[in-house]
Structure 1
C-alpha cells in the first residue's frame, strides 16, 4: 500500500517531470508524449490527463504550443521553454537531495 502510493506520487502526480524529460529530446505531439510515457517509463495515463497537464504547463510557461499545418491538417506540438528546463533541473536536483538524505549520504 505505501509503495503504491509512493509510485502514484512520483509518477502520475508529477507528470510534468516526465514530459519535460521527453521534450528535452525535441518537440512532440500530445498523443506521442502519452505513448512515450507508457513505453519508456511505464506510466499509463488517460489521454485527457496528458492534455490537462500540458495545458497547466503551458500556463506556467514551462512549455509552449507550436501550431503546424501538414497536408491540410492543423497539428499542435509542444516544446520546452528555458523556464521549463530550469524548473526541470531544479526538480531533479531536489529529488536527488531527498534520495541522498534518505540513504544517509
Structure 2
C-alpha cells in the first residue's frame, strides 16, 4: 500500500513534470500528450485528465496554447491547438528535477555524514 501511494504521488498527482518533459522536445497536441503519458510513461490516465492538467498549467503560465492555421487559408482552426512550454515552464521543470535529485541523494546517503535533508524550493 505504501508503494502504491508513492507511485500515485509521483505519477498521476504530478503529471506536470511528465508533460513539461515531453514539451521540451516539441510542441504537442493534448491528445498526443495523453497518449504518450500512457505509452511512454505507463501512466493510465483518461485523455480528459491530460486536458485538465494542461488547463491548470496554462493558468500557472507553465505552458501556452497555440492555434494552428488552416492549410492554404491562413484562418485559425480552433480545433487544432497545440501546447508548448514557456520559459516559466522550463524553469519550473528544472527546479522540480533538481528537487527530486536532492531527495534521491538524501535517501541514498541516509545514515552517512551530512545534513540528511533535501534542499527546499525557494
Q: Into which bin does the TM-score normalised by the smaller protein fall?
A: over 0.9
Q: How many residues align?
A: 105
- In terms of Rg, which structure is larger? 2
Aligned-residue offset at 1:3? 0.5
Instruction: Say what the alpha-carbon RMSD is for the aligned residues.
Output: 1.4
Structure 1 unaligned regions, length at least 5: none
Find out whether 1:104 has 2:96 as its counterpart.
no
1:93 maps to what in 2? 98
Does the alignment pair 1:78 with 2:77? Answer: no
Which stretch of the first structure deviates more once superposed, 67-76 or 43-52?
67-76
The structure where helix makes up a greater share of residues is 1
4+ runs deviating over 3 angstroms: 69-74
1:9 aligns with 2:14: no
Alignment of 1:38-57 (within 5 A): 38-57=38-57
- Give TM-score, length-normalised by structure 1: 0.94
Using the TM superposition, give the Cα deviation of residue 70 of structure 1 relative to its aligned residue in structure 2, in angstroms. Answer: 3.5
Distance in 2, Cα, partners of 1:93 & 1:43: 22
TM-score under structure 2 length normalisation: 0.82
